[in-house]
A = this chain, B = another copy of it.
Amino acid sequence: MEVKLPTFDSVFSIDCVIFGFEAGELKILLIERNEEPFKDWLALPGYIVSQDESIDDAAERILYELTGLRDLHMQQFHTFGEVKRHPQGRVITVAYYALIRINGQKELKPVTQYAKSAFWHPVNDLPKLAFDHSEIFNTGFNKIRRRLNYQPIAFELLPEKFTLTQLQSLYEAVLNKKLDKRNFRKKMLSYGFLKELDEKQKGVSYRAAKLYKFDRRKYAKIFQNELNLVQ
């Protein structure tokens, strides 16, 4: 039996591409839809913007409702406005992305009925997604690749304390290529925004590595100058 769905004249929506890093692998956050159209399909967390909230606020709310995650720093990266992208009517969607550390403790749990579940999925080997979400994902992934070259976005994806090897394997996962260990370390340390800690890795069955922290204040200073250089 076919169900007649309501149609939209003109609706704004938000879709979120949320990257995480776990076990040396880059992942994104997907939901299993619990609503027509595309019921039971996998999709990016996304929903409709309300009348009385800015799109930035909507992005935060929607991600929370569908996945239980909040207080990420999301940034919009592209707006998708093809006429036929949603079967029920005209929906223009603003796509946001964020990078976060996957934290085993934090449970992913939708707080609305619109999603059955939310989970992390490796970016390699993604299944077909609902709507044009595969395209949205690709656009977002290309953007963060390019951004990684001039902004230290990688630190959002790592635990607070991390080793240089972890940092390198994250870069390698995002850029999808091997990097030279000595050159990578030299370069990262030369930026001056890594703070070496008096601590070492624990619980590994080999020589433990030094832990580092990302020093936001130093980064802010350096970045200030770089903006001047660019101009």
A residues whose Cβ falls under 8 Å from a Cβ of B: 9-12, 49, 51-56, 58, 76, 78-79, 81-83, 90, 92, 94, 145-146, 149, 175-177, 230-231
Contact assessment for A56 and B83 in the assembled complex, using a CB-CB cutoff below 8 Å:
no
List 12 contacting pairs A-B, 8 Å CB cutoff, sorted by A: A9-B10, A10-B10, A10-B51, A12-B92, A53-B83, A54-B81, A58-B81, A76-B78, A76-B79, A92-B94, A146-B230, A177-B231
Q: Is the interface of A mostly helix, strand, loop or mixed?
A: mixed
- Separation of A76 and B95 alpha carbons in the complex (Å): 13
New contact pairs (10) apart from A9-B51, A175-B230, A176-B231, CB-CB < 8 Å = A10-B12, A12-B81, A12-B92, A51-B90, A55-B79, A58-B81, A79-B94, A92-B94, A145-B230, A149-B230
- Separation of A83 and B55 alpha carbons in the complex (Å): 8
Oligomer copy total:
2
CB distance from A50 to the nearest CB of B (A): 9
- Separation of A119 and B64 alpha carbons in the complex (Å): 46
- Please indicate the chain B residues that have their CB under 8 angstroms from the CB of A78 in the complex: 76
Q: Which residue of B lies closest to A55 (CB)?
A: B81
Q: Which 6 A-B pairs rank lowest in CB-CB distance, beginning with the nearest?
A: A55-B81, A79-B79, A54-B82, A10-B10, A79-B94, A54-B83
Contact assessment for A81 and B94 in the assembled complex, using a CB-CB cutoff below 8 Å:
yes
Interface centre among A12, A81, A82, A176 (most CB of B within 10 A): A81
- Please indicate the chain B residues that have their CB under 8 angstroms from the CB of A230 in the complex: 145-146, 149, 175
CB distance from A191 to the nearest CB of B (A): 19
Contact assessment for B55 and A231 in the assembled complex, using a CB-CB cutoff below 8 Å:
no
- Separation of A130 and B51 alpha carbons in the complex (Å): 22
- Separation of A82 and B57 alpha carbons in the complex (Å): 9
Q: Which residue of B lies closest to A177 (CB)?
A: B231
- Separation of A56 and B19 alpha carbons in the complex (Å): 28
